[in-house]
Amino acid sequence: MTLAQELITVGMIVLGTVATRFLPFLLVSRKKPTPKYIQYLGVVLPAAAMGLLVIYSYKDVNLLGGSHGLPELIATLVVVGLHLWKRQMLLSIAGGTVLYMLLLQFVF
């Protein structure tokens, strides 16, 4: 890309980031109650995003070849176990990720 194209690209990224950060504050007033559809989205979107990430993470697991998905299954069970035990999201994610990488590098 030319320098002008790079500057335009960076400018568009900055504009998109700023717009997505400030637009909600401009659209929703603090003086009025939060609209019902925004409250609904606040309830359902976190679970939907997590479900999407889980599906995306497991879409390429091959149960018929190689390790038969065992590293993924073991890491998933560790994530769930850590979360049920400690109730700390970052610990669960980090523990599962580290275990998964160690399993891939040294076991499978």
pLDDT score of 26 more than 90: no
Domains held by the chain: number: 2
Residue 52 lies in a domain: no
Do 67 and 107 share a domain, yes or no? yes
User: Per-residue confidence at 35, pLDDT binned at 50, 70, 90?
Assistant: confident
What mean pLDDT is reported for the chain? 92
Q: How far is CA 80 from CA 42, 46, 50, 88, 96, in A?
A: 23, 17, 13, 11, 9
Residue 108 binned pLDDT confidence (cut-offs 50, 70, 90): confident
pLDDT at 17 over 90: yes
**pTM assigned to the model:** 0.61
Q: In terms of residue numbers, what domain contains 84?
A: 63-108
Average pLDDT of span 35-50: 92
